[in-house]
Amino acid sequence: MRLNLIKTLSLVMMMTALTISGATADTASDYTKALEKSLSVAESVQSYNILSSLLMENNVKGQADGMKLEATQTARGQMPDRLFVAIDSPMFQQQLGTGAAESWFSLPAAGVCYVGKPLKLTRVLHDDGEMELTNEKLFNFYAGLGDYLFTQAMTPVGETGSEVLSIGGKDLTCQIFQFEDENGTSRFWFDPISGLVLRTKLVTNMVDQGVEMERILTTQVTSFTLDTPLSDDDFTFDTPAGLRVVDSLERVMNPDSMVGMPAPDISFTDLEGKVVQLKDYRGKVVFIDFWATWCGPCRMEMPHIEKLFKEFKGDDGIAFFGASNEEKATVTGFLKKNQYSFPIVLVKAEDARGLFNVTSIPAGFVIDAEGIIRAHMIGTQSEAQLRAAFAKAGFGK
């Protein structure tokens, strides 16, 4: 499932292009000026209202009759506390926003939406690429605007052309910048007056089950305003019928998240046969990772856990446990081949499932010194995501 189509598109748009010989000095100079203009707009703008269309085509290379997905996108923001970003298509809908009454994040395809208190917006133009469900990541002034800005130095290919686009009843002469890398070609139509990218065409080459494919993603701005006051009516939300409303962002993707709940007491057995009880670690931050030797995503995550364990090994304020419900011989055999030093323990399957709602692995929990669960993570986590989870319990960062 696509977590955030607008953010995903933004990351693709802002991919680093390779330096290609043959780009003219004038073209590079023109792009430098475009980048400076775009960054100036990003720094100064206080509100935006942008409507656009999106067309995604997946074709067998050389053909033009493949799958198509059409969508409309709405992006509105007004500092310091108004945001509305929405995607609507027959196959996919998503809405994110905050207004006078509430904040929200709605994923109808998942049958769930978050509704919470109104929020102040962060204003972070360059993000680290981590797709975390946090207020700071999602409720960002640039959540919608970032899709329409140049934000990093790239090297265009060939000479700069131009084309007149008719948008909102106005004819706008746009510069065309093209970039290439090993994955394909990207082309941007840039309006030097507004500082916005008004059309984007990304062509990506891929291989799917041995077949060469071409994905074409085209966005087209249909209307826009910058620094025009917006009405509070533009930032409201009506919960769609039939959606489950949850009270934390974690529960959007994990409706059974235990964040905010007291951690149930659970017993583990270490590989020497000693019983370890969670309640004995009150006063420390505790990280528990439920895993198995056969689980590929678990094995992908374990080097990150090992790195953090070694970093914090001398700190008495945190405890690590990797808990498996497999036979001891299976676990010890795995550890002989994989030299992990963080504590590995055994757990009863019924305890993991019944006490901690573990129905898929890896499943990670960070518990604060008061015994409250502050992070409940499903799936492989990066080092940065684990650090952020520890920080929620007041440790690190």
Q: Is residue 128 part of a domain?
A: yes
Asked if residues 151 and 126 have their Cβ atoms less than 8 Å apart, the reply is: yes
Which of 250, 273, 298 is where one domain is finished?
250
Q: Is residue 163 part of a domain?
A: yes
Helix/strand/coil for 63: coil
The 3-state DSSP composition of the chain as helix, strand, coil percent (nearest 5) reads 25, 35, 40
Kindly report the CA angle at 26 between 23 and 31, in degrees rounded to 5? 80
Rounded CA gap, 301 and 211, in Å?
Answer: 31
How far lies 39's CA from each of 44, 86, 142, 148, 178, in Å?
A: 9, 24, 12, 11, 19
* Residue 77 sits in the same domain as residue 168: yes
pLDDT in tens, the chain (397 residues): 223 444 433 333 333 222 333 344 467 788 999 999 999 999 999 999 999 999 988 877 777 777 788 999 999 999 999 999 999 988 778 899 999 999 999 888 778 888 999 999 999 987 655 556 678 888 999 999 998 999 888 888 876 789 999 998 899 999 999 998 877 889 999 999 999 999 999 888 776 667 777 888 899 999 999 999 999 999 999 888 888 888 777 777 676 778 889 999 999 999 999 999 999 999 999 999 999 999 988 999 999 999 999 999 888 899 999 999 999 999 999 999 898 999 999 999 999 999 998 888 999 999 999 999 998 888 888 898 899 899 999 887 6
Which run of H or E residues covers position 87? strand 82-88
* Residue 209 sits in the same domain as residue 276: no
Say what the pLDDT of residue 355 is: 94
* Residue 220 sits in the same domain as residue 301: no
Give the domain CATH number at 286. Answer: 3.40.30.10
The closest of 125, 134, 126, 132 to 382, measured between CA atoms, is 132
Say what the pLDDT of residue 95 is: 92
Could you give phi then psi for residue 365, rounded to 5 degrees?
A: -130, 135
Q: How many residues are given for the chain?
A: 397
* Residue 165 sits in the same domain as residue 268: no
Say what the pLDDT of residue 2 is: 28
Say what the pLDDT of residue 10 is: 36
Say what the pLDDT of residue 59 is: 78
Separation of first and last alpha carbons in the chain? 30
Say what the pLDDT of residue 13 is: 33
Which run of H or E residues covers position 241? none
Structural domains counted in the chain: 2
* Residue 239 sits in the same domain as residue 304: no
CA-based radius of gyration for the chain? 24
* Cis-peptide, bond into residue 80, ω within 30° of zero: yes
DSSP state of 233: G
Say what the pLDDT of residue 340 is: 93
Asked if residues 373 and 259 have their Cβ atoms less than 8 Å apart, the reply is: yes
Which of 199, 218, 250 is where one domain is finished?
250
Query: Angle formed by the axes of helices 383-392 and 296-312, to 10°?
Result: 60
Q: Which domain holds residue 292?
A: 256-392
* Residue 49 sits in the same domain as residue 197: yes
Kindly report the CA angle at 89 between 87 and 90, in degrees rounded to 5? 150
Q: Is residue 119 part of a domain?
A: yes
Say what the pLDDT of residue 3 is: 32
